[in-house]
């Protein structure tokens, strides 16, 4: 069994950003030498997420607007009584989730024709991390 772990660091310019990390995940899989297995991609913060979807700018805007409708910024979140101001980012994380597990087949990331891997930042403009962990033979 082969294992490989790499950490990605983000410091987004915007509070909310969606970063396509597909090529990076593919490169980690390639370097690992695993031919069959899986790769875990996980955000290491509770105000960020990882998801798989289409790399189409209109869809990314739709996702952002949908998340903002379901979990809008609101200064009255109870969480903000602790001195924080990112209650909406925690809720957005719950909607997107923080990780995905993807298949590796014949030494390659095995995605559908339009699928791409995204890191979703909901409380950015500071240093954040994600982890890619390959497990396979």
Domains of the chain (ranges plus CATH)?
2-136 (2.60.120.460)
Whole-prediction pTM: 0.95
Q: Write out pLDDT tens, residues 60-119.
A: 999 999 999 999 999 899 999 999 999 999 999 999 999 999 999 999 999 999 999 999
Percent of the chain with pLDDT over 70: 100
Query: Average pLDDT, stretch 26-48?
Result: 98
Around Cβ 67, how many Cβ atoms within 10 Å?
21
């Amino acid at each position: 069994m082969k294992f490989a772990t790499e950490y990605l660091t983000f410091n987004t310019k915007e509070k909310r950003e969606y970063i396509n990390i597909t090529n990076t995940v593919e490169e980690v899989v390639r370097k690992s030498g695993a031919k069959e297995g899986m790769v875990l991609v996980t955000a290491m913060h509770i105000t960020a997420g990882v998801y798989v979807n289409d790399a189409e700018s209109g869809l990314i805007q739709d996702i952002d607007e949908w998340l903002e409708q379901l979990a809008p910024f609101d200064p009255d979140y109870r969480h903000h009584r602790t001195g924080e101001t990112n209650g909406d980012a925690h809720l957005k994380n719950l909607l997107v989730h923080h990780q995905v597990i993807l298949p590796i087949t014949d030494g390659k990331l095995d995605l559908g024709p339009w699928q791409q891997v995204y890191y979703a930042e909901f409380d950015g403009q500071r240093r954040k991390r994600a982890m890619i962990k390959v497990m396979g033979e």
